[in-house]
Amino acid sequence: KQAEIFAALREAYGIPRDDTLQLKDFPTLNHAVGFVKDRTPQSVPADTADAAVSESTRATPELDESANPEVAGLEAANQVPRRVPTAVWRPSLDLFRTTGVELPQGSRVVVMPDHGGVAEALTKRLDKRGVEVLPIDPALEFNVLEKQLLDWVAAGPITGVYWLPALDAHAPLEEMDRKTWQEAVRVRVKLLHTTMRALHEQLDGPENFLVAATRQGGKHGYDEDGAQNPIGGGVSGFVKAYKREQPDALCKVIDFAMSRKTAALADRIIDETLRDPGAVEIGYPDEQRWAIGLDIVPCNGSTTGIELDQDTVFLVTGAAGSIVSAIIADLAAASGGTFHLLDLTPEPDRNDPDIERFATDKEALKRDIFERIKSGGQRATPAMVEKKLAGLERAQAALAAIEAVERSGGTAVYHCVNLTDDEAISAVMDEVRNSHGKLDVLIHAGGLEISRFLADKPREEFERVFDVKCDGWHSLFNAMGDMPLKAAVVFSSVAGRFGNGGQIDYSAANDLLCKSISGMRTTRPGTLGIAIDWTAWGGIGMATRGSIPTMMKAAGIDMLPPEAGVPTVRRELTQGPVVGEIVVAERLGILTEEIASDGGLDPDAIQLADRGPMLGKVTGMGLYSGLTVETELDPAKQAFLYDHQIDGTPVLPGVMGLEGFAELATLLLPDWRVQTVEDIRFMEPFKFYRGEPRKLKLTAQINAEGEQLIARCSLISERHLKGKSEPAISTAFRADVRLSRQTPEAVKGDKPVDASGVILEANDVYKVYFHGPAYQVLGSAWGDGPGTVIGRLADELPANHDPEDLPTKMSPRLIELCFQTAGMFELGVDDRFGLPSRISRVQKLRDVSPGDQPLYSVVRHSSSGTGYDADVIDKEGEVYIRLTDYRTAELPGAASTLKTGPIKAVFRAD
């Protein structure tokens, strides 16, 4: 925020950039005013400079300003990636680099304890290392704790902080009274602010740390059961934001499942302190480690949500913000329902001419307000004018929401209320209960955002930002009691998901709300819970002011178009799939940059002794890119390339792409087997131009699905083109590899039918196909009636790869046998020629052993009518490979130019 202020000041007053300027030398508004006075060619009145600064730093309601856009369709909203936070598998700690934290003898560590014994076990382990433990008493008042911490600092350096109270369970939100709730938040979150603010200057190096622990289920609530003990979300949001402010320090929040374990958890907390610098959020639902990444789950247009109509009762907080006002208008147009609108802004006077002038002639209104202040005997300043305008702005947005509801035929009931006032919220809920007996949709959009780094953020300000969102949320739920609720929506932020410097309170509050929505899967399973992590909006709202758009662009983050943002709430309420929390943003820029470029993985610790031919150098384990490997392939050495050329250019066979995916998915999971490869897409050919060696990149992001793992794999092409500064990057292949610990069950089909008529020999096949000896896998083929083609695997094929003893996971040339047999079917029966495009599923059911020959592929049309199913079987009918719905992309006109006469003669014979 300070950087934004100075950028705005330089722009407003024409001050040249000074690279030697240190922002820490300008800690107050008076310093900023002096900066303007000293560096502008002509003297500027002090009140003008004050106004410029106060406008940028004032406490601004979270969703604010601007005009109400028209209700948009869902097309623009569906163009924005629908990102879903998800738990991603992370390898064991021994495969990661050390963090830089050593916990040497004589070091001093602060410990905030839990009540379950983990802190006691941790203290014993630290004592054995010779580490001095400085325990915090959770009962201390804020000022007393701060003094104690400063005394500890004065006595010597402090290495780090272990924060453990969020390991303690708490009651469901709606079952906690106000006092119980506030104490739970005070101990877990607010004392954390006091502690880290006091120690901020101590903990800024790579040897320093903040490690917190929570008990939300082991995956931070990103699983089917949702978050347990969601106040822990306030801790995780704090830690993520703290990492943004102290990027050199180690910051982690480790989530555990509910258990009575103490020693095992203490060991893991220490181990996480010492290894893996590449992730902030780590989880242990069991023995496996997990981190939090992102998945893209498009809206599927289903009707799994709720129906919005005239009987729908809404309650919306923050209703006088311009963005919220626009969303209310959209929901009103879709439903015509009843809206209870809550905001601290007084109910707008419909006859106030200033409200109308704010929307139509703001500049003239500003001059009039200035003159009114003067005529009242006060010294008019721009700051006073802006304060008056801010109130009119919210009044105009509130009135716009009310009128939009009324235009839709609905009913608007406005409540001027402070969200932190329990009694006032209870009165509103009683009115809703008495009037309707139900609440269909609760939208909690109210909040404050005051950007200031932790060192400059006093407790009162932290609590003000945090309490409006979180105390308000508790008050709403506590007052609602057992009243029926169909859906709850909370407005969160990318700051809650990723953390953001200067927004440590905002991040903590938003992440607590997200975890509370997640926890409703258990506490309110009949209520649809939605948390929306908004990015900054463009064209409407607070972020359109000043230098913010410029800074967003520099950070690689796109502003959200209103036509995409406004209907998003309606879409999430009415259409599926239900996912809980979504990130609504286009490019996320620096927010999704990895903490460590390689994810913290130690490539030297990874054993590649049993690697296959598609795995080269392990390059990282990113939160968003997953496990990555770079492999250089040389067509002069690899038969699968020099025997797979199109028009003289070697092309990577699709089957070797599948092989690469299977090898990568199991690289760090040797006890797991490939059960299936699914949703396979061959998107563009990977070519080796001029026959030269080329690198490819394989990536795998591994998630859980029940008892299985799903590795979402991609094969990435990167080319440096002449005259281009940036490489051209594209995805050549992609697929999902399903992993299981179970050995697949044997499948047996019909024995292959020997040829009884005309046989298609290999000589005629490879007059059409371009393959060389290693990929001339089809020895012969014949028909078995009008709907089946059988191909026989060629004998004594040359080696597929070099070195030839490298093992394969998927028997790629058996899959290629299916491709080529299906190709004969396609040419001979369907009279078309195509290249592999997609496959619904590939299963490997048996390994090939010496003596298994002969092997056959049996191909039939799939149920889709446009693809093919295929089995590779032996003479007894045992199935080795099964393909489901293999499809090709037709090359128009190609079939007529090929030598297909012998093929048609076989497969069209009576």
Q: For residues 236 and 511, is the Cβ–Cβ distance under 8 A?
A: yes
> Which residue, 699, 627, 659, is CA-closest to 89?
627
Beta strand 160-163 with 132-135 is: unpaired
Alpha-helical regions (H) of 481-620: 494-498, 504-523, 548-554, 562-565, 568-574
Residue 119 predicted with pLDDT over 70: yes
Amino acid identity, position 144: V
Length of the chain, in residues: 910
What's the whole-number mean pLDDT along residues 312-330?
A: 95
Residue 6 predicted with pLDDT over 80: no
Which residue is it, tokens 């990015």?
Answer: 535
What's the whole-number mean pLDDT along residues 545-553?
A: 70
Q: What is the pLDDT of residue 69?
A: 38
Quick one: tokens of 594? 């990895």
Q: What is the pLDDT of residue 19?
A: 61
Query: Residue 54 — pLDDT band, cuts 50, 70, 90?
Result: very low
Q: In this predicted model, what pLDDT tens digit does every residue of 347-364 receive, in sequence order?
A: 988 888 888 788 777 778
User: How many DSSP H helices and E strands does the chain contain?
Assistant: 27, 32
Higher pLDDT, 359 or 614: 614
pLDDT above 70 as % of the chain: 93
The most confident of the ranges 183-187, 358-362, 384-388 is 183-187
Higher pLDDT, 432 or 40: 432
> Greatest CA separation found in the chain?
109
Query: Residue 909 — pLDDT band, cuts 50, 70, 90?
Result: low
Hey, what's the torsion of the CAs at 581, 582, 583, 586, to 10 degrees? 180
The DSSP line for 796-837 is SPPPSSSSTTS--SS-HHHHHHHHHHHHHHHHHTS---EEEE
Half-sphere exposure in the Cβ direction for 600 (13 Å, CA)? 24
372 membership: H or E segment, kind and range: helix 362-375
Classify burial at 138, counting beta carbons within 10 Å of its beta carbon; exposed 0-12, middle 13-18, buried 19 or more.
Answer: middle
Phi/psi at 713 (5° precision)? -110, 150
Quick one: tokens of 315? 């309650």
> Which residue, 472, 480, 489, 474, is CA-closest to 439?
480
Q: What is the pLDDT of residue 384?
A: 79
Q: What is the pLDDT of residue 373?
A: 77
Query: Residue 59 — pLDDT band, cuts 50, 70, 90?
Result: very low
Quick one: tokens of 419? 């969200």
What's the whole-number mean pLDDT along residues 197-201?
A: 95
Cα–Cα distance, 684 to 681 (Å, whole number): 9
Q: For residues 841 and 676, is the Cβ–Cβ distance under 8 A?
A: yes
Q: In this predicted model, what pLDDT tens digit does every residue of 644-669 receive, in sequence order?
A: 999 899 999 999 999 999 999 999 99
> Which residue, 222, 851, 888, 897, is CA-closest to 580?
222
Q: For residues 399 and 348, is the Cβ–Cβ distance under 8 A?
A: yes
Q: What is the pLDDT of residue 11?
A: 63
Hey, what's the torsion of the CAs at 426, 429, 431, 437, to 10 degrees? -140
Classify residue 210 by its DSSP letter.
E
Q: In this predicted model, what pLDDT tens digit does every residue of 251-305 receive, in sequence order?
A: 999 999 999 899 999 999 999 999 999 999 999 999 899 999 999 999 877 767 8
Q: Which residues touch 244 (CB under 8 Å, ≥6 apart)?
A: 498, 499, 500, 501
Hey, what's the torsion of the CAs at 797, 803, 808, 812, to 10 degrees? -40
Integer angstrom CA distances of residue 580 from 259, 576, 674, 876 = 25, 10, 30, 50
Which residue is it, tokens 């179970």?
Answer: 742
Integer angstrom CA distances of residue 582 from 261, 278, 295, 588 = 33, 23, 10, 13
Cα–Cα distance, 600 to 611 (Å, whole number): 22
> Which residue, 61, 59, 9, 11, is CA-closest to 35?
9
Buried b (16+ CB within 10 A) or exposed e, 767-793: ebbebbebbbbbbbbbbbeeeebbbbb
Q: In this predicted model, what pLDDT tens digit does every residue of 427-476 receive, in sequence order?
A: 999 999 999 999 999 999 999 989 999 999 999 999 999 999 999 999 99
Cα–Cα distance, 395 to 379 (Å, whole number): 25
> Which residue, 812, 817, 839, is CA-closest to 678?
839
Min mean pLDDT across 431-435, 575-579, 682-686, 854-858 is at 575-579
Alpha-helical regions (H) of 622-775: 639-642, 654-666, 762-765
The most confident of the ranges 23-32, 256-265, 549-558 is 256-265
Cα–Cα distance, 539 to 561 (Å, whole number): 7
Cα–Cα distance, 494 to 510 (Å, whole number): 9
Cα–Cα distance, 827 to 818 (Å, whole number): 14
Q: What is the pLDDT of residue 77?
A: 94
Q: For residues 838 and 680, is the Cβ–Cβ distance under 8 A?
A: yes
Which residue is it, tokens 């490298």?
Answer: 806
> Which residue, 818, 771, 735, 814, is CA-closest to 826?
818
Classify residue 534 by its DSSP letter.
E
Q: For residues 488 and 528, is the Cβ–Cβ distance under 8 A?
A: yes
Query: Residue 63 — pLDDT band, cuts 50, 70, 90?
Result: very low
Buried b (16+ CB within 10 A) or exposed e, 471-499: bbbbbbbbbbeeeebbbbbbbbbbbbbbb
The DSSP line for 687-712 is B-GGG--EEEEEEEEEEEETTEEEEE
Cα–Cα distance, 710 to 89 (Å, whole number): 10
What's the whole-number mean pLDDT along residues 308-328?
A: 95
Q: What is the mean pLDDT of the chain?
A: 89
- With H, G, I as helix, E, B as strand and everything else as coil, classify residue 317: strand
Phi/psi at 621 (5° precision)? -140, 75
> Which residue, 281, 291, 290, 226, is CA-closest to 258?
226
Q: What is the pLDDT of residue 544?
A: 55
Alpha-helical regions (H) of 639-738: 639-642, 654-666
Cα–Cα distance, 312 to 529 (Å, whole number): 17
Q: For residues 790 and 821, is the Cβ–Cβ distance under 8 A?
A: yes
Q: Which residues touch 439 (CB under 8 Å, ≥6 apart)?
A: 313, 315, 429, 432, 480, 483, 484, 485
CA pseudo-torsion sign 75, 80, 81, 85: negative
Amino acid identity, position 24: K
Quick one: tokens of 396? 């105009």
Q: What is the pLDDT of residue 66?
A: 38
Alpha-helical regions (H) of 418-498: 422-436, 459-480, 494-498
Q: What is the pLDDT of residue 337?
A: 96
Which residue is it, tokens 């180690």?
Answer: 250
Amino acid identity, position 679: D
Cα–Cα distance, 177 to 32 (Å, whole number): 45
Q: In this predicted model, what pLDDT tens digit does every residue of 724-747 receive, in sequence order?
A: 878 889 999 999 999 999 988 999
Cα–Cα distance, 682 to 730 (Å, whole number): 12
Min mean pLDDT across 193-207, 337-351, 527-541, 887-901 is at 887-901
Min mean pLDDT across 243-247, 385-389, 547-551, 672-676 is at 547-551
Residue 61 predicted with pLDDT over 60: no
Amino acid identity, position 147: K
Residue 886 predicted with pLDDT over 60: yes
What's the whole-number mean pLDDT along residues 519-528?
A: 93
Q: For residues 255 and 284, is the Cβ–Cβ distance under 8 A?
A: yes
